[in-house]
Amino acid sequence: MRRFEGYGVLITGAGRGIGEATARRLAGEGARVLVTDVDGDRAEKAAAGIRESGGSAEALYCDVGDRASVEAAVAYAVQTFGTLDVLVNNAYACHADAALFEDESDETWQRDLDITLTGAYRCARAALPHLAAAPDRRGAIVSIGSVNGEQDFGNHAYSAAKAGLAGLTRTLAGHAAPRGVRVNLIAPGTVRTEAWSGRESGLEAAAAHYPLGRVGLPADIAAAVAFLASRDAAWITGVTLPVDGGILIGRPAWRRDMFGE
């Protein structure tokens, strides 16, 4: 199935993990993908891997914390592909919490919000006029949120940013709908990415809390992005879609302790 034949797609934070898997998935379905990342070498490596697999991909440095960098990336996508049909907001920042909340720094708080939430705002602002010009009302924004924006899983600033991203998704969806652009959010649970390198025991411990018995893979999230970005989701906008192995509905370890199940 090649649902994205002729589409131009821009993905932030796509040098590895969920972003790279999403770039591979959409390119595999015919999209021309701009792989952007604050690490330009990493972006080029990901794009090269897609090209080696027969897909169409370009790479570009992009810092979503900088308006000029974002606008340059959007302009490059439009110039290179002749169209911009899908924006995937995947870039984020997440710093460990201080032991006590009162010891949190303004700098850490601001960094997580600026990259995770305001960065998505910058990208959507730059991309929206082009998405609205996409043919057949196929323009779409899909942002990567988190279950942290829905319940308490720690990380104060990151969680606040992801919750804010869910709110932005709803308000932007209402604004963009008359312009033919859909805006949706995916809320992943724990996903096995490079961010967990050296902490494999933590992933194993986390898996016990998931009703489906495992943590997620980047491909699980990429599949959901492909759905929401495609015409298969033509009547869906303003939603948050959990892709979380069931973590938001219950925790098996707690049920076993309480009920012996």
Residues tagged active-site: 158, 162
Q: Can you tell me the distance from the alpha carbon of 61 to that of 91, in angstroms, rounded to the nearest whole number?
A: 12
Q: Can you tell me the distance from the alpha carbon of 35 to that of 16, in angstroms, rounded to the nearest whole number?
A: 10
Q: How far is CA 44 from CA 50, 57, 210, 234, in A?
A: 10, 9, 35, 32
Can you tell me whether residue 53 is helix, strand or coil? Answer: coil
Q: Are 151 and 157 in contact (CB under 8 A)?
A: no
Tokens at 57, concatenated = 């991909």
Q: What is the dihedral of CA 9, 11, 15, 18, to 10 degrees?
A: -110
- Smallest Cα–Cα separation from 204: which of 253, 156, 248? 253
Q: How many CB atoms lie within 10 A of CB 213?
A: 11
Pairing of the two strands 86-89 and 140-144: parallel
> At 89, phi and psi to the nearest 5?
-85, 105
Amino acid at 117: L
Q: Are 85 and 131 in contact (CB under 8 A)?
A: yes
Tokens at 60, concatenated = 């570009």
* Residue 250: CA count within 13 A, CB half-sphere: 12
